[in-house]
Every structure is written in structure tokens, then in C-alpha cells.
Amino acid sequence: MPNKAWPAGKEQPKFTPGPAASYESHQTSEKVTIGVAAYVSDEETRPVFGKHNPYNYGVLPVLVVIQNDGAKSIRVDPLELVLVGPNRDRIDATPAEDVRYLSGPGKPSVVPNPLPTGSPKIGGHKNPLDTWEIEGRAFTAKMLPPGQSASGFFYFQSGFQRGSSLYLSGLREADSGKELLYFEIPLLEK
């Protein structure tokens, strides 16, 4: 069944993240490695999100890659991510399905003709955060078997601040429910 986030007849462009340990910002604990990268510049975001860079609209996309090198399956849902700023201020991740609503609606265009002429666009243009890439590239994994990896983006309503870190918790062994240690990974620009 096709995913409703992709327009009919449009192939989704290929985006393949590297292994978790290949990212400058990564951490390993209990045979689980997590790599993260903030996507800020247009050059970084274009291959992933197309012509509309979410960062230019107040949304910081952060790629998270989780590699399970242990012998047990890991539950990665629900995963809690918090962006911790250099002043210890905390920002929770915004769900991917809510990102499209962050670029508040513009002023409706006024048409002098009283007859309907089609569907009006808010503010005269399409919302740049309402694209398939936002939800289509979001982290959606629920379980991570031994030897496997999962990746995707989390979104924060924040600018990039040097000295920030990503606090990640909620990873559990699937069979016992034992929670793995939390991860606090310094966040660097990609």
C-alpha cells in the first residue's frame, strides 16, 4: 500500500545515511551506537528535503542513526529526544506530522471576483513545511533486531546553538523491558 505522504507517481529521492559510528557526534553504550547530525545549511538539506530547507523556517532537523550491535532486540519506541542548549534550556522534539503547522498560516489572498475560481492558497504560496520529505524522512522504527540499524530525522523548533547536546532515552531490551542507559551526545553541524 503506498504511503500517503508521497505524491502519486513521484519516486522518492534516495537518501542513505552512513553508519552510526561514522558521524562525528556519536556515542556507544551497551553495544548500541547512536550517531547524530544537525542539518542547517542549504547544501546539507537540499539532497534530503529538496528546495525548502526546514531550518530557514525555524525547524532544526536532526538525523539520528541507531545501530544495535548487541545480541538482543531493542525497542526504540517510544523514544524521547530533548535538545539541551548550552544554557541547559530544554526543547522537546516536535512530531513530524505536526511540523507542517509550525509555519503559521499567512493572510488569505482576497479575490475581488465573487465567483469561486479554484482553491485559494494561503498567503499566495504553498506552506514550505508541508512536504512529503518531512514525514517521509522522519524516524519511524519501533524495534531494532541484533545487527540492524535504523535512521530518521527528529525536528526541533530551535536554531542551532554551539554547545548543545541531544539527550536520548527510552531504549529498552525487547524481551526484558530493561532500559538502556540514556545517551547525551554533543550536537555538531554536519
Lowest mean pLDDT among 101-115, 129-143, 176-190: 101-115
What percent of the chain is predicted at pLDDT more than 70? 80
Average pLDDT of the residues of the chain: 85
Residue-wise pLDDT for 85-123, tens only, equals 999 999 999 999 999 988 644 444 444 444 544 444 444
Residues forming beta bridges with residue 32, ordered by sequence position: 29, 68
Q: Is residue 8 part of a domain?
A: no
Domain tally, the chain: 1
Residue-wise pLDDT for 70-85, tens only, equals 999 999 988 999 999 9
Range of the domain at 61: 20-98+117-184
Q: Is residue 35 part of a domain?
A: yes
Task: Find the CATH number of the domain harbouring 90.
Answer: 2.60.40
Q: Is pLDDT of 125 > 80?
A: no
Residue that has been written with the C-alpha cell 554536519 in this structure: 190
Q: Is residue 64 part of a domain?
A: yes
Q: Is residue 138 part of a domain?
A: yes
* CA–CA distance, 20 with 22 (Å, rounded to integer): 5
pTM across the whole model:
0.82
What pLDDT, on a 0 to 100 scale, did the predictor assign at position 126?
77
What pLDDT, on a 0 to 100 scale, did the predictor assign at position 15?
85
Q: Is residue 44 part of a domain?
A: yes
